[in-house]
Structures are given as C-alpha cells and as structure tokens.
Homo-oligomer: A and B are copies of this chain.
C-alpha cells in the first residue's frame, strides 16, 4: 500500500466521521491530499470500493484499540466503561461512528456495504455479550441486553453530536455501571 493511498483513506474516514458520508468526495479527498480527483481514481477504482475498504479498516482498528485498552482490565464493569470511553473520545473529537454514518446514509449504499456495517454491529454486540458472561441478576438474556447497550451507545453518540455537553453519553455510561452485580 502506497503512502498516498493510506493518506487518502485516513482523510476519507475523518471527513465521514466529522461530517457525513457525502462529504468524502474524490474532489475533496484530492484537495486535502494535494492531488487531483482524477489521481484519486488511480488509487481506488471507484468510490464504492473506497467506502467498502474504509468500513473494513474501521472494524479492524476499532476492535484492535478496544482490546488494547482492555488489556489490563479484568472486571466486566470496567470493560464496559472502557468501551463507553471510546465513544466519549469520539464525541470529544467531533466524530460520529463510521458505521452509524453509513447506516444513516444507506440509500447510496449497496448490499456489500450493508453487510460489513452489520458485521461491525454484530461483533460489537458479541463483545458486550461476552463481557456480560459472568454477570448475575441480569433482567434480560445477555445477548438481548448487549443489543440495548450497543444501541444506547451509538444513539448517545449521535444525539450528542454537535453539542458541547455529553449529556446522553454520560447518562449511558452511568447506566452501564448499574446493570448488575458485575
């Protein structure tokens, strides 16, 4: 992979997360990287192909960071807080979740895109469910509770977008610590 190629992907991801899916145009990417849009086509055969790569990279990088951050964290409660902190950090950097941005913009997306986006959410739910494995007294089956937790985190990040205060994110974080005898 060339450096320019990686740079373009970095810029594209940032544009989408800070603005919208539509904001990552070949023209904008080229301008930000100092080349022409026609040159961007040398690196990516189409915009669809680029968008697909971005999700796959995001998926990989997200879980790499999550696992790294949880390396020394043993308690389920602390692991959930660590996950919530990743969402809070996104907000602090004025970034939405890439997959959530894709979900909101589906009509320009094909089946491949939808599939990888759902794969991200599914793995996130699985991670949360695994984290809850040793919890007792849960009001719901842990697979179901995991779906609620992921929805609440993604929803909080989206609803707090553009606001200074993290009112929903902090509420969700507080809620996570009350879930059970973790």
Contact = CB atoms under 8 A, between A and B. Distances in A.
Residue from the set A18, A96, A154 with the largest chain B CB neighbour count within 10 Å: A154
Interface in A132-153: 139-140, 144-145, 147-148, 150-153
Give this chain's copy count: 2
Contacts of A18: 107
Residue from the set A106, A118, A154, A155 with the largest chain B CB neighbour count within 10 Å: A155
A153 to B, nearest CB: 7
Interface of A: 18-20, 22-23, 96, 100-101, 103-108, 114, 118, 121, 139-140, 144-145, 147-148, 150-156, 158-159, 161-163, 167-168, 171-172, 174-175, 178
Given A147-B167, A155-B154, A155-B155, A107 B23 contact: yes
Nearest to A155: B155
A169 B180 CA distance: 22
Given A104-B104, A105-B104, A152-B152, A147 B162 contact: no
Nearest to A163: B118
A90 to B, nearest CB: 14
B144 A174 contact: yes
Given A20-B108, A104-B101, A140-B178, A171 B145 contact: yes
